[in-house]
Chain A
Amino acid sequence: MAAYAANTLEMGTAAHGGLKSSLTGRGESIRELDDIDALVKTHWARLLRFVTYSTGDPDLAETITQDTLLRAYNSRESFRDESSVKTWLTGIAINVTRDHLRTKKYKFWARVKSTAIDVHEMSSFIPAGGLNPEGQLLAREKVKLLSGIIGTLSQKQRTIFLMKFSEEMTVNEIGDVLGMQVNTVRTHLHRALKAVRGQLGADQ
């Protein structure tokens, strides 16, 4: 848990600045931001997954996801249409996560109590998708293995890995949100991929 939190302090400093500098127009997306219920319905689960794996703490992730959506709704006037709402929200989530992990209260409770991701529970949600029981078992094991491997990455690598392969953001979008050069993002992704593919198996 502490390892999850350790490097978060260094992250996301330019998330808002990078976006603000690149956002100049307004359009259809602002309507999506005007309805808090629609915002929750569309983005809650995706943000919760991202923050859960980013922090490694599902309970904290719920609080952060809630704060992220509230912050986005309350500052929706500042949203410009040059990036997608999804990318904008991810940037806010990274900032809110950093703010939460910085607080003394969090640091105290992280020592006392922390809830970890239950990979067994998580893997039980594997979609049937026409798999036979044996295939489902293999898929579950793979998901559990990958969850564990992602948890061993550094905070920076994990966040960038999730932004790329779960949030399906481009390297440029990741660079904009985190205020990083494309080459730096690429380096982090290479390191993360080396660790993940190396541990998943030779043929990955």
Chain B
Amino acid sequence: MTSGEAGHLTEEAVNDVLIGLSSPEADAHLAVCQSCCDRLEQFRSTMKMFNQTSLAWSESRPSTDLRAAVRPKARPAIFVRTGWALAAMALLAIGIPVWNHESRILHSHASASAPAPSDSETQIAEDNDLLRSVDAVLSENEASPLSDYQLQARPHPRHKARPELRNR
């Protein structure tokens, strides 16, 4: 329903035109009715005046300098990814030769030095024999202070031979 009294647009139809949702009937009526056009124009001119005035007021208000508040522009993701890829490649280009060099040095050191022989029971027994023979030679050449008093050395009954000495 677009027509009201005297065939003019209803308030709802006028509002629809102002909103931008006019019907073809309303458009047809506005093409021939100056009175309804004036109703629209009245509101539009008031709004225009309001918009100009309020915009002039807000333009008079000082705007803030936001340059200091903004954070630096984030680089596009493609550049970030490319940067990481280049860094990884550089790391590999330096790291692989260094690692190869180090491992080569380690390998040559390892092959140059013979593995230390582990002490076997036979070896220990041979060492003990050698030490005993050395002791015997030394004790023969050195006079015991006990011999001056015609005494013989005896092991103390409470002193047990230490295991490490027993092996000697």
Contact = CB atoms under 8 A, between A and B. Distances in A.
Nearest to A150: B50
A102 interface: no
Contact of A122 (B11, B57, B71): B57
A104 B126 CA distance: 92
Contacts, number: 114
Interface residues of B, number: 38
Interface residues of A, number: 48
A66 interface: yes
B46 A142 contact: yes
A170 B65 CA distance: 31
Q: Is the interface of B mostly helix, strand, loop or mixed?
A: helix
B49 A143 contact: yes
B18 A125 contact: no
Contacts of A165: 47, 51
Interface stretch (A3-11, A69-77, A86-94): A69-77
15 contacts: A41-B63, A48-B61, A70-B70, A73-B70, A122-B57, A125-B60, A126-B49, A126-B53, A127-B52, A142-B46, A143-B53, A164-B19, A170-B20, A186-B16, A197-B15
A48 to B, nearest CB: 4
A171 B20 contact: yes
Interface in B1-43: 11-12, 15-16, 18-21, 38-39, 42-43
Interface string A130-165: 000000000100110011000000000000000011
Given A36-B67, A74-B70, A200-B46, 19 more contacts: A36-B66, A53-B54, A58-B61, A62-B64, A69-B66, A70-B69, A125-B56, A125-B57, A125-B60, A127-B52, A127-B53, A165-B51, A166-B47, A170-B20, A189-B19, A193-B18, A203-B39, A204-B39, A204-B46
